[in-house]
Copies of this chain bind each other. A is one copy, B any other.
C-alpha cells in the first residue's frame, strides 16, 4: 500500500507546535521527549535512515544517532522483549510496529511479559508500543487491523488511540512518560488528512491518559467512538442536526483503562447510545462499552444500546467489498435516526 512519498521528506527537526498534521504531531511528540529525556529511545523496523514506513520517525536518526534510533531485524517478539528488558534497566523505549497487524507475533511477549511484570514482582515497564492501525485504504486483510479488542482482556496494558493532531501529540508524550506499558494505535487514514491539520501549542503539553473527550455536545443521543470513526460520527452529527437531532460525540481517546465516568455521564444526559467502531462487531470493544452502560446506566436508557461496526469478516481488499465491511456514514445515520425515533 502507498505509505509515505518522496516529496514528504522532513529530515530536520520538526518545529515546536505550529500548524501540523496528525503524523507530524506524533513526530514532534517523540522528538521532544527524546530531547527532554535521554532514556527515551526508538526501536523498530526501518525506523532509522528510512524514517519508518509512514515517516513517523523521520529524521530522528540524524539527530539522535543509531544508539537511540535502532533498526531491528524482522522480529516483533524481539522488539517487544528487548524493549521490556531495556525498560527494566531504566530506559524508556518507544517501539514501532510497521503495521499494527504485525503486533500479533508479539502477542505473547506483550500479554505475558510486558503486561504482568509489575504485578508479579513490582517491576513496572515504562514502554510504548505504537504503530499504524485501521482500514479504509484498500490494504487488504493484513494491513488493516484494529487490534484493541485483542488486548482488552489482559490486565496490565493501557491502550490509547487519538483522533486529532493535538491529542496525538499530547497522548504520545503522556504515553512515553507513563510508568506502565502503553499500546498506542495511530489510524493510518489520519496521518496526512488535511482536515486534521491544526495549530499546536509551542509549549510542552500532555493529554492525560484515561480521559475521554466530548468531541461534540448534544442532547438527543450519544455516539461513543474513537480514532478515525470520530470523523464519521461528527459528519453524522452535522447531518442529523439539520434533521433536528442533536448528537453528542464522545471520543474515548484511551480505550484501557476506559473512562467509564465520561461514558456514563453522556448516557445519563442523552439516554440513547450508539457505539461506533471500525473493528468487527463481534468481540469488539463495543461489547465492553455496551455492557458497562447496560450494567451501570440501565435506568437512564430510553432505547436499546446500538452498535455500529464492521461486519464479522476479515478486512477485504477490493473497494466495494471493504466498503460493505466497514461501518459507513449511512449506517451511522440510519442507526441514529432509528435510535432517535425509538
Chain A residues at the B interface, C-beta cutoff of 8 Å: 101, 104-105, 107-108, 111-112, 115-116, 119-120, 141-142, 149-156, 256, 258, 275, 279-280, 282-291, 293-296, 298-299, 301, 303-307, 312-314, 316
Which residues of the partner chain B approach A119 to less than 8 Å between Cβ atoms? Answer: 141, 313-314, 316
B314 touches A116 (CB 8 A): yes
Q: Apart from A111-B150, A150-B150, A295-B304, list 15 A-B contacts with CB within 8 A.
A: A104-B107, A104-B112, A107-B108, A107-B150, A119-B313, A149-B149, A153-B280, A155-B312, A156-B314, A275-B291, A287-B288, A287-B289, A287-B291, A294-B304, A295-B305
The oligomer's copy count stands at 2
Given A105-B108, A287-B288, the answer on whether A141 and B116 have CB atoms closer than 8 Å is yes
- Asked whether, in the complex, the Cβ of B293 is within 8 Å of the Cβ of A155, the reply is no
Query: How far is the CB of A80 from the nearest CB of chain B, in Å?
Result: 12
Contacts of A282 in B (CB 8 A): 152-153, 155, 256, 258, 288
9 A-B residue pairs with CB within 8 Å? A104-B107, A104-B111, A105-B108, A120-B141, A153-B283, A286-B291, A287-B289, A293-B294, A298-B303
When distances are taken between beta carbons in the complex, the residues of chain B under 8 Å from A152 are 149, 282-283
Among residues of B, the one whose C-beta sits closest to the C-beta of A288 is B287
CB-defined contacts of A108 to chain B, threshold 8 Å: 104-105, 107
